[in-house]
Each structure stands twice: as structure tokens, then as C-alpha cells.
Structure 1
Amino acid sequence: MLRPLSGISDEAYAEDYAVFVQKHDFWVSIDLTRSNDPAENRGPLENLARTVASRL
């Protein structure tokens, strides 16, 4: 299930193991391949989405 991430970019969403960031005409997706508890990924994925958005 996609969760919107506000304040990161034009659009940004997160799942348990992925984030999606849209800025201007570009979409970036980052997918993790892990078998851990998805809650462990939430903060690091949101931070990564912010970093990617700032560099687009």
C-alpha cells in the first residue's frame, strides 16, 4: 500500500520496501530487497527520498 510522503517533492510515496519520488518531469524509484521488518525501513527510505529529491 502506497503512503504519501508530504513535503519531500512534487509527489513522493513509500511502501514497505520502496520509495517513489517525482520532481519536475522525472520519477525515481528505489527498491530494497530485504527480508527484515518493514518498519525498520521507514525512516531510512524517507531520508533517502529527501536526498534524491534535493538532487533532482
Structure 2
Amino acid sequence: PKTLHLRRRHKYPQKSAPRRNKFDHYAIIKFPPTTESAMEKMEDSNTPVFIVDVKANKHQIK
């Protein structure tokens, strides 16, 4: 019969502090652009346009 092999337990936590989310709601959306094309899109199609963080994905932006 095979013996159950359990993983070794650490004597101390591997990370000193819990991992914190770098993106809060204010870090993802940066600012609205003031270019002519962005203003035109806002006025014509009633679409909000914002500059967002490069590392943010679509789910975080929504």
C-alpha cells in the first residue's frame, strides 16, 4: 500500500504582510482626456471617455 505523503508545514509565514490590492477605485481611472476627438465622442454618442491605468484589465475598469 502507498503511504500518504503530506507537505511540510512552514515554521513561520512565508510573507510578512498579506498581499494588498494595488488597484483601488481611484487608481484605475486616472482622468478624462481634454482632446477635441474625446470631447466630440462625449457629445455625439454620449460616451464617457477616460484615461485608465495600463495594467488595469477590462473587468477592473467596469
Asked if TM exceeds 0.5, the reply is: no
Structure (1 or 2) with the greater strand fraction: 1
Highest Rg: 1 or 2? 2
TM-score of the aligned structures, taking structure 2 as reference length: 0.24
TM-score of the aligned structures, taking structure 1 as reference length: 0.26
